[in-house]
Structure 1
């Protein structure tokens, strides 16, 4: 049974507001790989053949949350379905959806509502560490067409970009993670920290690749960065166990230290900081 986090309506709204949108370069890398038809020529050299200008027919984004990772596929796929076990997350995604070729459904990762060999692409962003992976792989293999692609990806905690205080600022984020909320995370979070390097994330297809070259930069206020911390499952678990007052104290201490480290006199709402989210991407192709 997969773990279930991020399910409350309020948490879904926070998740939608503060979680990053994956970079265009990552979406294009996934789609480009999915469009390739790779074969061995007579002399043993790999070649590619395919219409990179055409859109894919159908794709699914599993563990879609509030839809940030689903909507990036819209320009490249005729029909995209985002799926999440949380009804609150799906309702939030539907509320925010602006794409006519994107739809959302409530579904666990291990039983997906698609017919056999019906999808060209299945993706999952920052979610599969909560799945029953053997059951998920079996289900993905059932619904992918021959040559179809499974792409698993995620991102690390944001690194503040500052010429003088970048490391000190990141240590404040790390303190909230490891110290303030350290005992309130599910074991799956360590898999994200390790960029899905555990063997169970090696997609069980002969053609398998890893790509860690993608990142997205986002400028946020210190108040918005603090809001991002509230989207963490560890923070939400701490809040549920210890109450709003204790949780608020963590946020206030973080903001105060962040502002002091920057040596500015502006408020958290008035103080902006560039953030860099590094992504890791794993892809495998079902044999033709």
Structure 2
């Protein structure tokens, strides 16, 4: 698994969008027992924090200690530095395993073998994510050009799985039908800019050019943003499965 997010761990914790309560509640509703949950590649711990309200104990792993240093703290959450594909948990440990906005970085075959090892026979595996945000038409044109042309060449190849809404990832589970979810926020301009600066492609651009590509669109985006209602929408991605 690549570590593309330690550098901007603070930004990640501050500016990454959360998942709506109704989506988390739906995932939890598919789980019979609420003893143990695991959030893999937890990042800032937002999903782990949401799960802690429903499960007696939540474990959350990430390869980045910096991410875990910025993660949500709850009494029943235990954080561990660990690769997704190689954990030290016992067999048949978890009632629910989640991975949010990260599975595209994994070695699928090795990771799924680990899921089959540590998920209980009646447990649930859930993949969460979100696609490219959209907002008012003027800002969308700028954002799409930024995403595709300015930082487009700097996305890792694995980004394609998100562009394809996670429909093309391997998924060797008994899959459940799920409803569609969309997340809506009202953001100030600084929140939008902060979110853009968490993109891994933006960080790759900065490392290569020693300049921030967001500066190329900042003023035109600000002007377009002020003409809209400051609403942003994220199409949410969800796949839920059980062991075959």
Distance 2:179 2:157 in 1: 22
Q: 2:121 aligns with which of 146, 152, 162?
A: 146
**Structure 2 equivalent of residue 67 of structure 1:** 45
Change in 2 beyond 3 A, CA 1:262/1:105: closer
1:76 lines up with 2:75 in the alignment: no
Q: How does the TM-score come out when normalised to structure 2?
A: 0.94
Which residue of 2 is the match for residue 231 of structure 1? Answer: 198
Distance 1:239 1:132 in 2: 27
The structure 1 segments of at least 4 consecutive aligned residues displaced by more than 6 Å after TM superposition are: none
Q: Distance in 1 between matches of 2:125 and 2:140?
A: 32
- In structure 2, the residue corresponding to 1:114 is in which secondary structure? coil
Equivalent-residue separation in structure 1 for 2:123 and 2:52 (angstroms): 17
Structure 2 residue ranges without an equivalent (≥5):
none
Q: 2:25 aligns with which of 6, 12, 28?
A: 28
TM-score of the superposed pair, with normalisation by structure 1:
0.80
Contact 2:35–2:56 (Cα < 8 Å) also in 1: yes
Unaligned runs of 5+ in 1: 36-54, 161-165, 265-270
- 2:31 counterpart SS class: helix
Residue of 162, 165, 175 corresponding to 1:208: 175
Inter-partner Cα distance in structure 1 for 2:226 and 2:40: 42
Shift of 1:263: 5.7
Q: Secondary structure at the match of 1:157?
A: coil
Distance 1:210 1:20 in 2: 24
Structure possessing the higher radius of gyration over alpha carbons: 1
Change (3 A) 1:191 1:212: farther
Asked if residue 104 in structure 1 is aligned to residue 74 in structure 2, the reply is no
Residue deviations 1:99-119 (CA, integer Å, cap 9, x gap): 211121100000122101011
1:65 is displaced (CA, Å) by 0.6
Task: Pick from 66, 72, 75 the counterpart of residue 88 of structure 1.
Answer: 66
Question: Is 2:189–2:225's contact at 8 Å kept on the other side of the alignment?
Answer: no
Residues 134/233 of structure 1: CA separation in 2 closer, same or farther (3 Å cut): same
CA offset at residue 210 of structure 1? 4.7
Q: What CA distance in whole angstroms lies between the structure 2 residues aligned with 1:209 and 1:4?
A: 30
Q: Distance in 2 between matches of 1:124 and 1:230?
A: 22
Aligned match of 2:144? 174
**Equivalences for residues 33-72 of structure 1 within 5 A:** 33-35=30-32, 56-72=34-50
Q: Which moved more, 1:275-284 or 1:167-176?
A: 167-176
Q: Which secondary structure does the structure 1 equivalent of 2:148 belong to?
A: helix
Q: How does 1:122-201 map to 2 (within 5 A)?
A: 122-160=97-135, 166-200=136-170
Structure 1 contact 20–68 (Cα < 8 Å) conserved: no
Report the alpha carbon displacement of residue 199 of structure 1 after superposing the two structures with TM. 4.5
Q: Distance in 2 between matches of 1:57 and 1:279?
A: 26
